[in-house]
Amino acid sequence: MHMGFSFSGEVALVTGAAAGIGRATALAFAGQGLKVVVSDVDNAGGEASVEMIRQAGGEAVFIPCNVTLDSEVAALMEQIVQCYGRLDYAFNNAGIEIEQGKLADGSESEFDAIMGVNVKGVWLCMKHQIPLLLAQGGGAIVNTASVAGLGAAPKMSIYSASKHAVIGLTKSAAVEYAKKKVRVNAVCPAVIDTDMFRRAYEADPRKAEFAAAMHPVGRIGKVEEIAAAVLYLCSDQAAFTTGQALAIDGGATAI
């Protein structure tokens, strides 16, 4: 899949790369000739993503990491430097799924789990990635937020709050490091056809129909459509783009 983007760096990290949007983006980076570090807590899925990249003629390595643990994220960066000597691009995509209930019905454990991965995980990844990018004279980070980070998400208040937080981290870091040539942006997908989506909707086919109807284009998104946006935001063509939260949502937020 050649999209005509140009990259001045060599090495890309993708977290949450064992499936879905992460796997598709890891494959897309590799298709552009970049060395890809695939990371996830799902070892089997991560190794499968690496194998897919290698079968397509690309170069990749799997490094497991729980993004909620500072020591593991620090170790991930050390291993990347040992393996490839540098880091140029990072797609902080690891996240966990939405809760399904009104705010007053939520549990503390649910709150801690969602915030731990979706917010602390992104913060820890950026905290440890930025010094490596600065050492290379610049680079690009893309974080996975959500359309739920751009407005209300009824029955998903914790998830929505976590994705609003990702956008806050993204914009603040973008401004802090703008003069150091480290760009930070976020993608905000609507409903995308992933394993996570299928788990949420397979029990009720009507929900899947409703999900498609939520988007003015009349369908849910494809993982490759998110991957293309991530590659653009990391590419040299997006050199003037930082601090943005790009909705990729079939028109949903335009209503």
Q: Is 84 a catalytic residue?
A: no
Active-site residue (options: 159, 177, 201, 232): 159
Q: What angle do CA 22, 169, 5 make, to 5 degrees?
A: 45
Does any domain span residue 105?
yes
pLDDT of amino acid 171:
99
Rounded Cα gap, residues 209 and 171, in angstroms: 34
pLDDT of residue 3: 53
- The percent of residues in the chain predicted with pLDDT above 70, rounded, is 99
Which helix (H) or strand (E) segment holds residue 247: the answer is strand 245-248
pLDDT of residue 200: 74
Instruction: Tell me how many domains the chain contains.
Output: 1
pLDDT in tens, 154-203: 999 999 999 999 999 999 999 999 999 999 999 999 999 998 788 877 77
Q: pLDDT-based confidence at 147, cuts 50/70/90?
A: very high
User: Is 94 contained in some domain?
Assistant: yes
First and final C-alpha spacing in the chain = 32
pLDDT average, residue stretch 206-210: 84
Q: What is the pTM of this model?
A: 0.96
Q: Which range of residues forms the domain containing residue 30?
A: 11-192+222-242
The CATH number given to whatever domain includes residue 138 is 3.40.50.720
**Domain-embedded: residue 36:** yes
pLDDT score of 2: 52
pLDDT digits (tens, 9 = 90+) for 94-114: 999 878 899 999 999 999 999
